[in-house]
A and B are shown apart, each in its own frame.
Chain A
């Protein structure tokens, strides 16, 4: 392991010097302060492309008295490095925790940028298993999308600190409340981070704003989680996707309406005996005007919802 880590560190250094995407070096990596000690980098509302280097998820930084936590690391090592550089510009304090909100590539592919920093990786108790199970597929399928050079830098780094239900992390005068959600909702390893000092919630992909929600866990599970999620004592939320901060818990309204619409449409069509292929184009269509990337994800959501609800 030690040898592998050393080899990796060397390889990462060489790659950083040689094949960092040009734009990552030239474009500024924008960080916004949203509350005292809380910062966010808004990813693009887009699908991952080589041009955006997977910079499509919102990433969080919380600066405490003694240390820093980052929340998700972006969809490539280049994005992770840019995030790390942004932290170093903000503060001299060390990154103590790298918290991953779930397993998807746009949230964890940047982990390698923090691999040699002494930071502890933290996640949902299901996250290591999900990363192992799905990670190789993500690496393979993103090779074409991100490019071989970008993918070759990615290391799937699972958390070593696992959250069973809730856990508090202390950054010095600033506590973060981590909640591991179940049943499966957006995924089966969804984790939220609440800054208890500022009541800022980093929701990961349990909250989508403007960007269409994506169901990769369970529609019914997500609807089950929402009322409990809404009880968190936040005043603002950083969504996993969407280029704005939401008020809490009002930010859940659009997403809840979308999920309920998909559920109601799917149930109605299943009851009517409509086959899957004919049902999918009819599910969720009234939501079209409310969301970006609707055509990219709504049919997939409709398929997932139909397949799940068919067994009710």
Chain B
């Protein structure tokens, strides 16, 4: 019987593992980071680096985070973001930044929600490297930032080598798109899956004993016909075989399109027929 919670805080992180414009200072040495996680809340130092000179308002009536208090598998922790703005609220959620405070690369993903997409939930799976707060920060159309917080107990997700010996029969970059059975025809749900190891840069190659360089799904765009719905900028904290499930307002489009790229410069795309309205 195994012990699947692999240990935390191993190896190195590539600079590229931090999203776009974020400061390299987010790359705190793993051992320091582990010590910090035990001793102090990293958020007060982290928040100004991710959102420089921005006030973070209470997000109670803006968004919520669903995540298990105790993760069963630190390498696959389900996280669901719900927007909770009142129906008559004139503001819209434009962007949600998902931050896993104790992870070596804390920004797990930035979701950009298009104004007409009607997205009110996004679910994904993340790696969690320590007992940590998870923060979701929503930027609304009024330009202000609102924050929700959730505590998750898990350890070792980023370093957990989910790699098996056998070659994967499904090629890297393979996309799956699935529309879920809709209960409300005006608000539908779809799931995009990408076959990708999403190497964190902390997993050791089993033969060379060298750490595998970070190689992860960096960007995904999801279109309904010609209308862009959602853009995902991902980092190494997203689990292997990234999955994004989201709600949206259907338009008349006959197809969905997904395109994306990974940090190694590999591009992938796919086109998928839309389901008939339920």
Contact = CB atoms under 8 A, between A and B. Distances in A.
B1 A133 contact: no
B166 A216 contact: no
A132 B163 CA distance: 12
A304 B72 CA distance: 10
A200 interface: no
Contacts of B206: 129-130, 132-133
A303 B161 contact: no
Interface in B193-220: 193, 195, 203-207, 209
Contacts, number: 121
B160 A137 contact: yes
B13 interface: no
A173 interface: no
Given A126-B165, A188-B165, A216-B2, A140 B7 contact: yes
A138 B7 contact: yes
B3 interface: yes
A248 B243 CA distance: 41
A118 interface: no
A187 to B, nearest CB: 7
A240 interface: yes
A170 B191 CA distance: 55
A149 B98 CA distance: 39
Contact of B241 (A105, A183, A303, A311): A311
Interface footprint category on A = 35 or more
Interface stretch (B73-81, B82-90, B112-120): B73-81
Contact of B6 (A138, A205, A276, A300): A138
Contact of A136 (B68, B176, B204): B204
Contact of B125 (A130, A139, A276): A276
B164 A188 contact: yes
Interface string A106-122: 10000000000000000
B147 interface: no
A277 interface: yes
Contacts of A126: 165
A172 B91 CA distance: 81
A141 B204 contact: no
A302 B180 CA distance: 21
Contacts of B166: 182-184, 188
Contact of B73 (A137, A139, A272, A300): A300
Interface in B1-39: 1-10
B7 A57 contact: no
21 contacts: A106-B1, A133-B163, A133-B204, A133-B205, A134-B161, A136-B7, A137-B7, A140-B8, A140-B9, A216-B4, A241-B1, A273-B178, A276-B123, A276-B125, A280-B72, A293-B1, A300-B4, A302-B72, A310-B193, A310-B243, A311-B170
Given A133-B204, A297-B1, A311-B241, 10 more contacts: A57-B1, A106-B3, A126-B165, A130-B165, A138-B3, A275-B80, A276-B78, A277-B80, A300-B73, A304-B76
Interface of A: 48, 56-57, 104-106, 126, 129-130, 132-134, 136-143, 182-184, 186-189, 205, 208, 211, 214, 216-218, 240-241, 272-273, 275-277, 280, 293, 297, 299-300, 302-304, 307, 310-311
